[in-house]
Amino acid sequence: MSSPTLLAVARGSRDPAAQVAVRALLGRVSRLAPSLAVRVAFVQHAEPSLAAGLAAAGPDVVVVPLLLSTGYHIAVDICGAAATAGARLAAPLGPDRSLATALAGQLDIAGVPAGTPVVLAAAGSSDPKAIADVEMQAALLADVRDADVLAAYASAGTPTVAQAVAALRARSGTRPGSADQPVAVATYLLAPGHFYGRLQQAAAAWVSAPLSGHPAVAALVLDRYRAAAASQSAARPGSGPQDPRPGLADEGGQEPEAELRRRIEPRGGQGR
């Protein structure tokens, strides 16, 4: 029996570089699973559209959102289309420990020294669940980096990236020997585009590259696909993705969120 088609669905951007980055990511996914049919679709601003992608993928398909948190695009656009097509729907990529590994790796590539305070810069959303997802990813990154990490947003949501950079500078400046400590921005975006251009303008000493180029992200796409492919149930309107995000569990199978929150709350509720 052949495996279901993996249909990766990205948000889409008018910037051609974003489409190139998404297709390059899926090329790495294909190299990890050469026998698997991998296709791409976009919610907006690029082709093929989600409807066209589903039509081309055939009757047995798993939709993997190339999105870093839950939100409107998953709950409405992607879930609705998947339900109509009878497709299985995987969870979004984030939050996940694999993304914390990828974020830390991109910071290392950018030359960010260990212990440097970090702003985790996401696109932003008006959905409280999406904001909670980003804050959880900030906690996961803080755990990996063993450094202060503060979530911030390039558009909707507060604090803004500029506000978060200023806050971390002020926080580090109150500690002995840490005055004027530089701050890094960890780009919590999958691909370049409008929002990444805005992050480049942040008053930070370093801005890491988007995540699509890191090997851990391609492996995570496959993990999401395999978890959803194991389910025999198609998406239902309003139900959202079916599978949990296993990368949030510790080795004993327990959610680490409470422990991470306990560690970070005394230092401001976000970051460490």
| Alpha-carbon span 14 to 68, nearest angstrom | 19
Structural domains of the chain in order of their starting residue, each with its CATH number: 5-94+214-247 (3.40.50.1400), 97-212+255-267 (3.40.50.1400)
| Alpha-carbon span 36 to 257, nearest angstrom | 34
- Supply the pLDDT for residue 198: 85
**Token representation of residue 245:** 């995000």
- Supply the pLDDT for residue 241: 63
Give me the chain's average pLDDT, please: 86
pLDDT tops 50 at residue 120: yes
- Supply the pLDDT for residue 87: 96
Q: Which residue has the higher pLDDT, 180 or 264?
A: 180
pLDDT tens column, 122-158: 998 889 999 999 999 999 999 999 999 999 999 888 9
Mean pLDDT, range 9-29, rounded to an integer: 96
- Supply the pLDDT for residue 202: 85
pLDDT tens column, 183-241: 999 999 999 998 888 888 888 999 999 999 999 999 999 999 999 999 876 675 545 56
Would you place residue 269 in the very low, low, confident or very high pLDDT band (cuts 50, 70, 90)? Answer: very low
**Token representation of residue 206:** 């370093």
Q: Which residues on neighbouring strands pair with residue 121, listed in sequence order?
A: 152, 187
Single out the residue of 41, 34, 27, 28 nearest to residue 3, CA to CA: 34
Q: What is the 3-state secondary structure (H, E, C) of the chain?
A: CCCCEEEEEECCCCCHHHHHHHHHHHHHHHHHCCCCCEEEEECCCCCCEHHHHHHHHCCCEEEEECCCCCCHHHHHHHHHHHHHHCCEECCCCCCCHHHHHHHHHHHHHCCCCCCCCEEEEECCCCCHHHHHHHHHHHHHHHHHHCCCEEEEECCCCCCEHHHHHHHHHHHHHCCCCCCCCCCEEEEECCCCCHHHHHHCCCCCCEECCCHHHCHHHHHHHHHHHHHHHCCCCCCCCCCCCCCCCHHHCCCCCCCCHHHHHHHHHHHCCCCC
pLDDT tops 60 at residue 256: no
- Supply the pLDDT for residue 175: 58
Would you place residue 90 in the very low, low, confident or very high pLDDT band (cuts 50, 70, 90)? Answer: very high
pLDDT tops 70 at residue 22: yes
| Alpha-carbon span 65 to 7, nearest angstrom | 8
